[in-house]
Structure 1
């Protein structure tokens, strides 16, 4: 089981992002998420993390795959990726500072721009496919790093475990 979760909260053509206050990737825009607690499923973790970091309750996050990475030739690490839609009334008082960072709506085109160096470097690799819940199947978006440099990416089929089994696993 992986240690982390991340969610992209969508409203129209925008995504609620956080400019990270802490490392890793301090100062970069990223999705909302965090570490799984003992005995917690990835789905329950992302519901809890979104609530703790934003004050927004999501009930049915959609599992969109995994983002895995090999940092400096170490064993692979990774996170479960989810997407959820939010309503405008949940997005009041933005931008807003929290203990984790600054929350703000960002357009998908801004996030995916090749000229944008303000996001976590893996986002441009997987975000467009993750957000396309109608046409793209969940996958393992694998990244290899050399230090902080993203040196290789590949899209892999998910392991044999079904999405249902993965989300219900304790």
Structure 2
């Protein structure tokens, strides 16, 4: 079982992101998420983490797979990735400072731009597919690092039965 979850909260063509206050990837934009607690499923964790970090209550986050990585040839680490669409963003005024960093809505096109180096580096390898719920199945998006640089990425299919409630 992986130790972390990550959520991309969408409203139309914008995604709620956090500019990280702490390492790893201090100063980079990322989705909202955190560490699984004992006895918690990935689905329960992402709902709790989104509530704690943003105040938003998401009901049915959509499981989109996993992002895994090997830092400097160490054992693989990773997180379960979800997408949650909200109908109103009025309750989430941004920018908003939190203990984890600064929350703000970012245009999907800005986040996915190949010229954007302001996000966590793994996002450019998986975010587009994760957001494409209608066409792309959940997968394991794997990155291998050398220092802070991604030196290899691959998309690994997940079994048809993989879903957050089966973890």
TM interval, shorter chain, is over 0.9
Q: How far is 1:105 from its partner?
A: 0.4
- Does 61-70 or 89-98 show the bigger shift? 89-98
Q: Displacement, 1:113?
A: 1.0
Q: Deviations over 1:65-110 (max 9, x none)?
A: 0000000000101000000001324543211111110000001110
State the partner residue of 2:48: 48
Q: Using the alignment, how far apart are the partners of 2:103 and 2:91 within structure 1?
A: 10
Gaps spanning 5+ residues in structure 1: where? none
Alpha-carbon distance change, 80 to 90 in structure 1, aligned in 2, over 3 angstroms: farther
Counterpart residue number, 1:127: 127
Provide the aligned C-alpha RMSD in A: 1.2
Using structure 2 for the length normalisation, give the TM-score. 0.96
Task: Compute the displacement of 1:161 (Å).
Answer: 7.4
| Aligned 8 A contact 1:56 1:90 in 2 | no
Aligned length, in residue pairs: 167
Paired with 1:28 and 1:149, the residues of 2 have a C-alpha distance of 14
Matches of 1:155 and 1:161, distance apart in 2: 15
- Bigger shift: residues 20-29 or 84-93: 84-93
Instruction: Kindly state the Cα deviation for residue 162 of structure 1 after the two structures are TM-superposed.
Output: 2.0
- Matches for 1:58-97 after TM superposition, within 5 Å: 58-97=58-97
TM-score calculated relative to the size of structure 1:
0.94
8 Å contact from structure 2 (residues 56, 92) kept in 1: no
